[in-house]
Amino acid sequence: MVPRIAIAHDYLTQRGGAERVVLSLARAFPEATIHTLFHAPEQTYPEFRDRDVRVSPLNRIGPFRRDPRLALPLLAGAASALRIDADVVIASSSGWAHAFPTRGRRIVYCHSPARWLYLPGDYLGDASPRDPKRLALAALGPALRRWDRRAALRADRYLANSSVVRERIRHVYGLDAPTLFPPFSPAVAEGPQEPIPALAGWAGEDGAAGGHHLVVSRLQPYKHVDRVLEAYRALPEHRLLVIGRGPERARLQSIAPPNVRLVEGLTDAQMRWAYESAQLLVAASHEDFGLTPVEAGAHGVPTLALRAGGYLDTVEEDISGLFFDRAEPDAVAEAVTRAAEHPWDAAAIRARAATFSEERFVDRIREEAHR
């Protein structure tokens, strides 16, 4: 008998790599229902509108959909109550979906054990000691860590999305989780392209000329986008396009030099244009898995990446990109200068990206589900 499969994810409220993985899971299992705490259709990928997405009661509260962090004290209870009726649940989790209860088998595809519990500096950034989120974590942290570990140990199978996350799972939970690298989405690489109207007059007179450098990132403190902006302040001959949304947006907009533009909410066609017409991608954060270099690589575009974390899995030095050793403006600027002199081979870059195909990911996750 064919098992009934369901997909779980923390929340569908933004456009990012984790949400792309859920779309790949949905293509692997077209009949699967998707279960999540929050779904904001206007903030995430439109493909989810065509799926059976089931949400928690908290989804009725608009501010929580816009920023799930506001609901932090309520999320453990909501996750524990979001029961899934399926034979196999595949949980794409960064801290909540691994706890959705089910009587079926549970496979956790872990993007990271919860950052707010185990890497609070990444989550809070420079928040003051009186910041409500910092106070909430201080009060709730011990109980949430106990709840989180209990949920993790109930899983039948853990898979890590990178070498870094595999080690973190071992440290936090004492589990050995085989690594399954996430795929880049075919929607990023294939299909028509559309220039970004907001860049008209900056990216060429009609908005269709490329040649920019690119950052694709959630605008969170630990992403170090501010340091990349400062690097480009010293590189006025280069244009930098930053694509992303997040709580840092207003601050980043206020400090952006004249050669930098920030945009958000792009269509897939506009994302393809942004990648295809870029000269290089800059990735300065300490990532658990470096997906954006793979997306850029599918277009033959090299990456300048911080020599740390998941970028060590995805960037092949001197072939698909170069590394810098510190997430500081001077190190980023120096890497940009080196990249301009490097003999890049677009075909070799694309070949490297092809090793992270969706077909490979789908075959492996189907094997796991049908064990």
Given a cut of 70, the residues of the chain with pLDDT beneath it are 121-129, 133, 203-210
pTM score of the predicted model: 0.78
Domain that holds residue 316: 186-354
Residue 277 pairs in a beta bridge with: none
Same domain, 162 and 282: no
Same domain, 339 and 362: no
Same domain, 266 and 172: no
Phi and psi at residue 368, to the nearest 5°: -65, -40
Same domain, 339 and 364: no
Same domain, 78 and 96: yes
pLDDT single digits (tens) 119-157: 876 655 555 667 776 777 778 889 999 999 999 999 999
Same domain, 228 and 133: no
Same domain, 73 and 211: no
Same domain, 245 and 347: yes
User: CATH no. for residue 234?
Assistant: 3.40.50.2000
Return the pLDDT at 205.
42
Which of 168, 165, 169 is CA-nearest to residue 151?
169
Contacts 24+ apart (CB under 8 A), 24-27: 24/182, 24/183, 24/185, 24/358, 24/361, 24/362, 25/90, 25/92, 25/109, 25/365, 26/51, 27/358, 27/362
Q: How many domains does the chain have?
A: 2
Same domain, 337 and 273: yes
Same domain, 172 and 204: no
Return the pLDDT at 269.
94
Contact 314, 294 (CB under 8 A): yes
Return the pLDDT at 127.
59
Centroid of chain to Cα 308: 16
Centroid of chain to Cα 20: 8
Same domain, 67 and 209: no
Same domain, 288 and 197: yes
